Amino acid sequence: MLARPVHCVSYSSGIGQYVPLPTNLPLLTHNSLTKPTDPDRRLRPEDHALKPHDRYPLQSYTSHGYEVLSLSISPDNSTFASAGGDKLVFHWDVTTAKTLRRFEGHFSRINAVTHNDDASVLISGSYDATVRLWDLKSQSRKAVQVLEDAKDSVTSVCAKGCEVLVGSVDGRVRNYDVRMGRCFVDLIGWPVTSVAVTADGNALLVGALDGGIRLMDKVNGGMLQCYRGHVNEDFRVRSCFGEGEKYVITGSEDGWVWVYDLLEGKVVEKLKGHGGRL
């Protein structure tokens, strides 16, 4: 049981492990399956439906001095990045729990961090309204590129190919083609809380403080679908795709988890498990 608030949770690419991020130190990796009493016993279906107290921590990561707000796990699960209130980005070795790199340059808390597709670059977005790109293959600790077009806090970043997608409180989603040096802007009109991109890179999922989530055509900015019902008026509530992009999943300020059908936009499930904002 964690004694401090958790800002976000991320699963590794395989099954069985996740990393919760508490308000302060330390970061913990947990096994989401039962701790086997017999090491030779194979996993059984009932092992995937356990009570919270049956989970056990695998590793602890300690370096951050303030709350941890975002996490990104590399595709091969060997490393992960964390960022938060201390204005730093840490790059970790999962197995040894050692810090591989520490990047600094932001002037305020970092709200979001993510890897690019091949995990050669880290991308961080901050309350200082900048996005910084960090080269993991170089020994330099300075950002290789700084994107400064946002007029307010950057809340979300994601990457697809040579594109970096940025959501901001200024009500815009910016799509940077870093290879060609171009930037395309979609006006949402409300502070953006989350941005995600489909696997084929053709559509964006954009959450905003008007309480709506928009599925948008990345090429022309047209709205393909809108999802409403959950509550998102004051806080950064994140949304994502689920089950092979069949569903849209989001938290809500009323403590519910909402699940929408991607194509029809209808609510297919509501999950209650929290007494407050989610």
> What is the domain-level CATH number for residue 43?
2.130.10.10
Let me know if residue 95 belongs to a domain: yes
Q: Which residues form the domain of 57?
A: 1-148
Calculate what percentage of the chain has a pLDDT beyond 90.
66
Calculate what percentage of the chain has a pLDDT beyond 70.
77
Residue 172 and residue 125: Cα distance in Å, rounded? Answer: 14
Nearest one of 63, 170, 161, 172 to 117, comparing CA atoms? 161
Residue 94 and residue 160: Cα distance in Å, rounded? Answer: 24
Q: Are 111 and 123 in contact (CB under 8 A)?
A: no
Let me know if residue 232 belongs to a domain: no
Residue 248 and residue 245: Cα distance in Å, rounded? Answer: 7
CA angle centred on 65, ends 62 and 70, rounded to 5°: 75
pLDDT tens track for 224-254: 999 999 999 998 899 999 999 999 999 999 8
Let me know if residue 216 belongs to a domain: no
Let me know if residue 74 belongs to a domain: yes
Let me know if residue 187 belongs to a domain: no
Let me know if residue 267 belongs to a domain: no
pLDDT tens track for 24-51: 545 555 555 444 444 444 444 444 444 5
Let me know if residue 244 belongs to a domain: no
Nearest one of 193, 146, 159, 6 to 84, comparing CA atoms? 6
Listed in sequence order, the residues at least 6 apart from 15 whose beta carbon sits closer than 8 Å to its beta carbon are 32, 33
- Write out the two tokens for 169: 């409180």
CA angle centred on 100, ends 116 and 123, rounded to 5°: 25
Let me know if residue 186 belongs to a domain: no
Q: Are 194 and 219 in contact (CB under 8 A)?
A: no
Is the pTM here over 0.85, yes or no? no
Average pLDDT of the residues in 134-161: 95
pLDDT tens track for 163-210: 999 999 999 999 999 999 999 999 999 999 999 999 999 999 999 999
- Domain count of the fold of the chain: 1
